[in-house]
Structure formats: C-alpha cells, structure tokens
C-alpha cells in the first residue's frame, strides 16, 4: 500500500499525531519552517521544524502557572523514544515543583560566570579554604601565588598548552631546577582538577599537558647518579658521631644558659635526647621511613611490646588508604623506648610533637638540625676524631635510600623491601634499587654450562664418545 506524502503546510501550522519514529521522519521530510507536530499521547510534547534543524520540545506550566517551552534536543540525533523519555522525566520534575527551563538558564548563567572565574578569585576563595585543612596547604598557596603571579587575572578555563610552554621557558630563564618547576606545576594541576571536580570549570583545560624535561648537564648527570645511594661505612660512623656531637653542644649550651641566669630551663644532661631531631633521624636510619611519616607518627601507631608500627603511609594514602604494619629492629625500639620514657610515656599524640603547640613540626623544621649535624662531622674530621665528614650536600632522605640499599645488598628480596619501604608498587622498588640486588643471572648461566660439561665429561670417561663436529 502506497502512502501519499503530506502536503507542505503553511508556516507555523500545527499537526497532531502519535509521534513515532515513522511519523517523526515524515514530519522532518515534509514540514515547513515553524510547523509543529504535537503528540496525541503526551501533552505538550512536540516536534518543531526550523530552517536549519528539527527539534524536540516540551511545553509545560511551572508552579506559578506560567507556560514554558524547553528544547529537549535535535532530531534525528535524539530518537522519538529517547525524546519521549526525556519529556516524561522533565514533566516529572515539574510535578516536584521544579522549573527545568529556569534551571537550565541558571546553569548557563553560572557557566558564563565561571568563564570569568580567575585564578586569583579561586585561590582566595574555595581553594584557600580547602588547602588550609591540609598539612602543607599554606606552602602550596604561597607557591601558586608566587610562581603563577602573571596568571592571576586569567580565567581558569582559558589556560592552554602554549601558556604552559611559555611559563616553563620563563622558569628556566630564572635558572630554576626542573624539579622546582614540576612541583609548582603539579600544584597548579591539582588546583585545576579540584576546580573541575567542584564544577567551577567543566574540565581541567591543561589536563595531560606535561612539562618538557630539559637535557641534563654534566653536573646534573653526576648528581642524578649519586642521588639514590647508600652510605659508606665511614659515613655511618660520621653520622652517629655527628649526632653525639650535636647533642653534646646542645647540652653545653643549656649548662651555660642555666648558669647565667636561666635556671628554669630543663636540664639536658639527664635525658637521652636533647630534642626531637636525634631520635627522629635515628629512627629514619633504622626504619627507612619518609620524614613525613615520622613527623605524622603518633603513639597510637606504635606497639613497643610487639616491636611494630602500624599506620597509613601518607604519601600513598590516596592509593592505599589502609594501615600497614612495619616491624622494628631492637635498635629502633630502643630509640622509641628512650624517647617515650623521656616524654612521660604518653599513650596518645604525636611522637615528635612540637612542645609549644603539641602539633606536628613543619616538614622543613628538621633541615636546620640536619645541617648542624653535618657541620659537626666536618669539625670532628679536622680534629682527627673521625676519618671523614658527611658530605655537605647529603640529603636527609639518603638515610631512607641507605635502608633500602643495604637490605637488598644483604640479600633481602625486592617484595619484602618494597613493603618495608611503603611503596605503592614493587616496580618503584625495582626501578630505584633493583640494580643493587645480587646478580644471580650469571651464576645460573655458569651453572648451566658447568652441568653440561660435567655430563659430557662423564660420558667420555665411560665410552668412546666422539666429539661433536660442525656440519
């Protein structure tokens, strides 16, 4: 049976029919501009033909009784069934007292406002509140304001790859290290991801844009080679001697202060440690913990009876939020016991709490103590009390590298070391320390050859086995 094509209607004309895929297609093909096809099943649901496109619409009344018309989408990108479903959902919202068209307009207005949301406005507003709740939030805000001062008036969503490339070039012109650039840029990426998650911007505009690593100079190559290294025996001797010299100097300074009019200051001669720095550094040496995890260590995490620490590793908390258990050597337990007793045997609170505030120390506070310990080793070397000093550029983090390196060189398997180091993935351990593992591969190859030489030798002794010849 043949169907007769609909005769084009006058502009603005109205048709009525049950809207299906077929009737929608016929209407799209034959309708005049401004003509509408109203559905006979769902009131207000209709198609409208425009010069450029055909669109699905829904006419409804809001809670104030005012008639509103909202566009659901374009035909044929949106099918009849999909459009009808959207119409039902939209009407359902109106029954709940909502006004879908007003909500859509509000979102558009909000989006337009967001285009005007500058980096400075976001920093001074929601992001400052967010960072103030974080351990290093204030430092992060300072970094962003300092390193991206030229971008403060830029809308968040307007940043581009070209902006990043120009920024990196400017940072390199200031002769800043690539690691410094990475930290600042990482802080910016975190801010933009936060803004996207919060809905301030649709997406991070420079997501996936990475800094270009410059070629290393000869000096940087040498430093990279020695960055992750273990301590030599003489350096370990220097470390412990430096800690003892640091403590003795602090004790002598306290004796003088007490003698010269400050008798209320605590006597340091009768305690194991003059301040928090020696036990923290010794514990890092014996456990390989990151400085941040030691600064955040609480007595609730420590079990001196079972010689364990159980805590969430801060650096990988976003990947592994569950607590991990770390065994302690007798030497590490001795350090903690002495410090615990010195602190009055508390059951709770930070192990290395600031005595003035009761809170954890800032992560940079230990640096000056570490520097003084290294200076003491240089003085001891001049007095010929130790063979050599600690290098002036030796980082405190080297104690962590030494812990992992020595374990592996002493035969510990990489999986065990990975867990002791609190790495999120064993690949991290393999990448940084795998080369220190005893090389068993050569032994396996040599053993293979020896075994077959022995087999061939035994066969020759037992008969007239002829040597193999090449063909």
pLDDT number for residue 215:
65
Q: Give the integer Cα–Cα distance in Å for 350 and 365.
A: 15
pLDDT at 233 over 60: yes
Q: Give the integer Cα–Cα distance in Å for 307 and 329.
A: 7
Are 240 and 286 contacting, i.e. CB atoms less than 8 angstroms apart? no
Q: Give the integer Cα–Cα distance in Å for 412 and 327.
A: 14
pLDDT at 409 over 50: yes
The two structure tokens encoding residue 427: 């690949």
Mean pLDDT of 128-157: 90
Are 351 and 339 contacting, i.e. CB atoms less than 8 angstroms apart? yes
pLDDT at 404 over 50: yes
Check residue 7 and report its DSSP letter: P
pLDDT at 157 over 90: no
pLDDT number for residue 469:
42
pLDDT number for residue 452:
80
Least reliable range by pLDDT among 134-138, 275-279, 339-343, 444-448: 444-448
pLDDT number for residue 72:
92
pLDDT at 437 over 90: no
Q: Report DSSP letters for 232-281, one per residue.
A: PHHHHHHHHHHHHHHHHHHHHHHHHHHHTT-TTSPPSTTSS-SSSHHHHH
pLDDT number for residue 222:
46
pLDDT number for residue 321:
85
Cis peptide before 27 (omega within 30 of 0): no
Domains and their CATH numbers in the chain: 14-106 (3.30.160.390), 119-217 (1.10.150), 233-433 (1.10.443.10)
Least reliable range by pLDDT among 201-210, 239-248, 337-346, 426-435: 426-435
Confidence at 468, pLDDT banded by 50, 70, 90: very low
pLDDT at 109 over 70: no
Q: Give the integer Cα–Cα distance in Å for 52 and 66.
A: 29
pLDDT at 156 over 50: yes
- Residue corresponding to tokens 């929601």: 126
Confidence at 114, pLDDT banded by 50, 70, 90: low
Q: How far lies 117's CA from each of 112, 123, 144, 154, 430, in Å?
A: 9, 10, 16, 8, 44
- Residue corresponding to tokens 């192990």: 351
Least reliable range by pLDDT among 111-115, 171-175, 278-282: 111-115
pLDDT at 25 over 90: yes
Check residue 209 and report its DSSP letter: -
Rounded to two decimals, the pTM is 0.56
Nearest CA to 327 among 420, 431, 263?
A: 420
Confidence at 24, pLDDT banded by 50, 70, 90: very high
Confidence at 110, pLDDT banded by 50, 70, 90: low
pLDDT at 396 over 50: yes
pLDDT number for residue 460:
63
Exposed / middle / buried, residue 445 (Cβ in 10 Å: 0-12, 13-18, 19+): exposed
pLDDT number for residue 411:
85
Mean pLDDT of 230-253: 94
Runs of H (alpha helix) within 343-411: 366-382, 398-409
Mean pLDDT of 11-35: 89
For 346-372, how does the pLDDT look when each residue is reduced to its tens digit (9 = 90+)?
999 999 999 989 899 887 889 999 999
Exposed / middle / buried, residue 255 (Cβ in 10 Å: 0-12, 13-18, 19+): middle
pLDDT number for residue 462:
60
For 260-305, how does the pLDDT look when each residue is reduced to its tens digit (9 = 90+)?
999 999 999 999 999 999 999 999 999 999 998 999 999 999 999 9
pLDDT number for residue 6:
45
Mean pLDDT of 430-448: 75
Confidence at 344, pLDDT banded by 50, 70, 90: very high
């Amino acid at each position: 049976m043949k169907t007769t094509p609909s005769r084009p209607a006058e502009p603005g004309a109205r048709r009525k029919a049950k809207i299906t895929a077929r009737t929608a297609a016929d209407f799209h093909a034959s309708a005049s501009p401004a003509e509408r096809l109203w559905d006979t099943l769902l009131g207000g649901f209709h198609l409208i033909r425009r010069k450029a496109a055909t669109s699905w619409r829904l006419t409804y009344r809001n809670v104030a009784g005012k008639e509103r018309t909202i566009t659901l989408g374009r035909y044929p990108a949106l099918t009849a069934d999909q459009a009808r479903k959207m119409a039902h959902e939209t009407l359902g919202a109106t029954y709940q007292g909502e006004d879908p068209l007003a909500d859509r307009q509000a979102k558009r207005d909000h989006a337009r406002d967001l285009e005007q949301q500058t980096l400075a406005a976001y920093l001074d507003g929601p992001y400052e509140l967010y960072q103030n709740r974080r351990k290093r939030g204030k430092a992060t805000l300072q970094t962003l304001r300092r390193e991206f001062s030229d971008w403060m008036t830029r809308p968040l969503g307007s940043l581009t790859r070209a902006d990043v490339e120009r920024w990196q070039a400017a940072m390199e012109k200031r002769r800043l290290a690539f690691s410094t650039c990475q930290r600042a840029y990482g802080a910016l990426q975190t801010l933009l991801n936060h803004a996207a998650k919060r809905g301030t911007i649709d997406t991070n505009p420079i997501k996936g844009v990475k800094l270009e690593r410059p070629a290393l100079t000869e000096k940087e190559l040498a430093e990279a080679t020695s960055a992750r290294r273990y301590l030599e025996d003489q350096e370990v001797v220097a470390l412990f001697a430096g800690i003892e010299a640091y403590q003795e100097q602090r004790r002598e300074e306290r004796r003088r202060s007490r003698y010269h009019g400050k008798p209320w200051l605590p006597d340091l001669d009768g305690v194991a440690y003059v301040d928090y720095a020696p036990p923290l550094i010794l514990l890092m040496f014996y456990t390989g913990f990151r400085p941040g995890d030691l600064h955040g260590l609480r007595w609730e995490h420590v079990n001196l009876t079972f010689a364990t620490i159980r805590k969430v590793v801060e650096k990988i908390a976003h990947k592994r939020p569950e607590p991990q258990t770390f065994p302690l050597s007798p030497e590490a337990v001795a350090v903690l016991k002495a410090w615990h007793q010195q602190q009055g045997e508390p059951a709770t609170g930070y192990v290395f709490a600031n005595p003035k505030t009761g809170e954890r120390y800032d992560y940079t506070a230990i640096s000056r103590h570490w520097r003084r310990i290294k200076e003491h080793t240089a003085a001891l070397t001049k007095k010929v009390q130790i063979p050599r000093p600690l290098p002036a550029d030796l980082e405190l983090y080297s104690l962590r590298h030494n812990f992992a390196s020595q374990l592996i060189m002493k035969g510990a398997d990489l999986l065990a070391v990975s867990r002791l180091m609190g790495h999120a993935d064993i690949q991290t351990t393999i990448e940084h320390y795998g080369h220190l593992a005893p090389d068993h591969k050569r032994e396996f190859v040599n053993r293979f050859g020896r075994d077959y030489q022995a087999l061939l030798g035994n066969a020759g002794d037992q008969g007239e086995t002829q040597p193999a010849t090449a063909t």
